[in-house]
C-alpha cells in the first residue's frame, strides 16, 4: 500500500529534547523567564521562532523583533555546540531494524523535520546517507502543522502524498500529515535523561502487516 515512509527526526529517530531544553533554559534564565520541562514538551515539532514565542508567554516585557532574533540565535548557538555530544548511540532502539525492514520491502524512506539543524544531527548520529531524501527547516516557508515539509519530501521522492505514511511524535506533525492527505502513525519516545537511556518503544511494536 505505501510507497514511502516519511520520518520526523526529533522524537522519532532520536531525542534532542534535552539539548533543546538546556539551551532554552539558558536563555530563559538569562532573561529571568520561568521555563520548565513541561513547557519544553510544548516545543516538540514546533519551529524555532514559534518555540521562542511560547517561552515568551511568561515574559514580563515586550521584546522587539531584533531582540527576538538575538535570543533565537543565542539559543541556537548553544544548542549547536551541545549537539557535538550527539553520537550514533543516541539513535533509538529498533529504528535501524525498522528502516531495514522497510527498504528490504522496497519502501522508500525520507526525513520530514522542522529543524534547520536536521542535516547536522543526521551526520552526528551517522545516518546522513540512510535516507533517500531530507526535507527540513531549510527548505520550507511554513512549519508543521502546515504540510509543506512532508509534501516537499514526497516531491523529492516523486511519490504521491496518498502513497506516503508519516511517522511522528508531535501533534503538530500529525496535523501536518493529515493536512497533506497522508496517513500517519504516532510514536512516543521514552527518554530517561538522568540515566541517559533512550527508547522509542512504539516503533518496535508497529504492526508490520500494514505495509
User: Which is nearer to ligand G16, 77 or 105 (by Cβ)?
Assistant: 77
8 is catalytic: yes
From the list 2-10, 55-63, 95-103, 188-196, the region that binds ligand G16 by CB under 6 A is 2-10
Minimum distance of ligand G16 from residue 156's CB (angstroms) = 16
| CA atoms of 201 and 194, how far apart (whole Å) | 18
Sole binder of ligand G16 in the list 6, 71, 92, 113 (CB under 6 A): 113
The option from Mg ion, ligand G16, none interacting with 115 (CB < 5 to 8 A, set by class) reads ligand G16
Q: Which one of 2, 10, 21, 134 is in contact with Mg ion (CB under 5 A)?
A: 10
15, three cell numbers: 531525542
Q: For the purposes of burial, counting CB atoms within 10 Å of the CB of 72, is it exposed (0-12), middle (13-18) or buried (19 or more)?
A: middle
Stretch that binds ligand G16, among 6-14, 29-37, 97-105, 122-130 (CB under 6 A): 6-14
Which residue number, 105 or 142, has a Cβ lying nearer to Mg ion?
A: 142
Among 39, 55, 110, 115, binds ligand G16 (CB under 6 A): 115
Residue 201, annotated ligand binder? no
Alpha carbon distances (Å) from 191 to 14, 61, 169:
10, 34, 13
Binds ligand G16 by CB under 6 A, chosen from 4, 5, 7, 8: 8
Minimum CB distance to ligand G16 smaller for 81 or for 208: 81
User: Rounded distance, CA 85 to CA 189, Å?
Assistant: 20
Give buried/exposed letters for 8-38 (b at 16+ CB in 10 A, else e): bbbbbbbbbbebbbebbbbbbeebebebeee
**Which residues on neighbouring strands pair with residue 109, listed in sequence order?**
5
Active site (annotated) includes residue 17: no
User: Alpha-carbon torsion 167, 140, 142, 179, what sign?
Assistant: negative
Q: Using omega within 30 degrees of 0 as the cis cutoff, is the peptide bond preceding 145 cis?
A: yes
Binding mask 22-51 vs Mg ion (x if CB under 5 A, - otherwise)? Answer: -----------------------x------
Residues at the site binding ligand G16, with contacts judged by CB under 6 A: 8-11, 20, 43-48, 51, 76, 113-117, 137, 170
Residues designated catalytic: 8, 10
Amino acid at each position: 500500500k505505501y510507497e514511502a515512509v516519511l520520518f520526523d527526526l526529533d522524537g522519532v529517530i532520536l531525542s534532542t529534547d534535552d539539548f533543546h531544553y538546556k539551551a532554552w533554559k539558558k536563555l530563559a534564565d538569562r532573561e529571568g523567564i520561568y521555563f520548565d520541562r513541561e513547557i519544553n514538551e510544548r516545543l516538540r515539532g514546533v519551529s524555532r521562532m514559534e518555540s521562542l514565542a511560547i517561552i515568551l508567554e511568561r515574559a514580563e516585557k515586550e521584546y522587539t523583533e531584533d531582540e527576538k532574533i538575538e535570543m533565537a540565535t543565542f539559543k541556537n548557538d548553544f544548542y549547536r555546540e551541545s549537539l557535538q555530544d550527539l553520537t550514533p548511540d543516541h539513535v533509538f532502539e529498533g529504528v535501524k531494524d525498522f528502516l531495514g525492514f522497510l527498504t528490504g520491502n522496497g519502501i522508500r524512506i525520507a526525513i520530514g523535520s522542522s529543524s534547520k539543524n536536521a542535516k547536522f544531527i543526521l551526520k552526528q548520529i551517522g545516518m546522513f546517507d540512510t535516507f533517500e531524501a531530507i526535507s527540513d527547516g531549510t527548505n520550507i516557508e511554513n512549519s508543521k502543522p502546515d504540510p509543506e515539509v512532508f509534501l516537499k519530501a514526497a516531491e523529492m521522492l516523486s511519490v504521491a502524498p496518498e502513497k506516503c505514511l508519516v511517522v511522528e511524535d508531535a501533534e503538530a506533525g500529525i496535523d501536518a500529515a493529515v493536512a497533506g492527505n497522508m496517513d500517519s502513525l504516532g510514536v512516543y519516545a521514552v527518554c530517561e535523561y538522568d540515566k541517559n537511556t533512550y527508547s522509542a518503544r512504539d516503533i518496535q511494536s508497529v504492526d508490520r502487516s500494514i505495509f
